[in-house]
Amino acid sequence: MYFYIGLNIIIALIGCIAALYLAFRLFSWKQGDAKFIIEARRRDPFALKSMSTDTAVFETEVPFHNGGKQLGTIMDFYPRVLLPREQYDLCAVTAQLANKDAERDDGYWESVIYYPHKGSRIRVTVTLTSKGGNIREDLRTFPDMPVDLVYQAVSRSEWYIHKARITLKASEVRHALEQA
């Protein structure tokens, strides 16, 4: 008889622990998390910032915000240009990214905490350096070039890496060259 009473107490304790765990998970789910949204479609058009005989520098600004319910931290943010030499081999391409609220010129992203529904803008700078010495001639056949904006974020959940994609379009390059 004591065995069944003890077994009932153990089962009741396990049931209470399971119910408390489910209540905690429901509470955590309702609290939400941070969710960073890179608004790639709302980016400014790439503009020619400077140009020399062998180098052209293009810039754009991309808005982003924390669309979640909790604070979130962007720990790292960097651009990755995607231009294989099989597609276009006349220029060397580099890219740099900066936080408009905390400008730095060394390409380093300083960790920033963003409140829900708050955000900022990032400045993406793409430098095209001619391998032949004449940037105007080399950019005549420049193709559309994707640029991945990769960021590492953390909030209530574990850290994660995500990316968004913008494109330096050939039409933007041609238009900028016509204006220069």
| Residue 4 pLDDT | 81
Same structural domain, 27 and 92: no
Q: Among 130, 149, 146, which Cα is nearest to 87's?
A: 146
Mean pLDDT of 135-146: 92
Domain count, the chain: 2
pLDDT band at residue 74, thresholds of 50, 70 and 90? very high
Q: What is the pTM of this model?
A: 0.81
pLDDT in tens, 36-66: 999 999 999 999 999 999 999 999 999 999 9
Same structural domain, 90 and 169: yes
Same structural domain, 112 and 63: yes
Most distant CA atoms of the chain, gap in Å = 95
CA–CA distance, 114 with 91 (Å, rounded to integer): 37
Same structural domain, 17 and 50: no
CA–CA distance, 122 with 39 (Å, rounded to integer): 10
Same structural domain, 26 and 45: no
Query: What's 140's DSSP letter?
Result: G
Same structural domain, 109 and 149: yes
Range of the domain at 65: 36-179
Mean pLDDT of 18-43: 87
Same structural domain, 1 and 67: no
pLDDT in tens, 85-116: 888 899 999 999 999 988 887 878 889 999 99
pLDDT band at residue 30, thresholds of 50, 70 and 90? confident
Same structural domain, 11 and 91: no
Helix (H, G, I), strand (E, B) or coil at 132: coil
CA–CA distance, 98 with 96 (Å, rounded to integer): 7
Same structural domain, 130 and 65: yes
Same structural domain, 104 and 22: no
Helix (H, G, I), strand (E, B) or coil at 2: helix
Using an 8 Å Cβ cutoff, are 175 and 139 in contact?
Answer: no
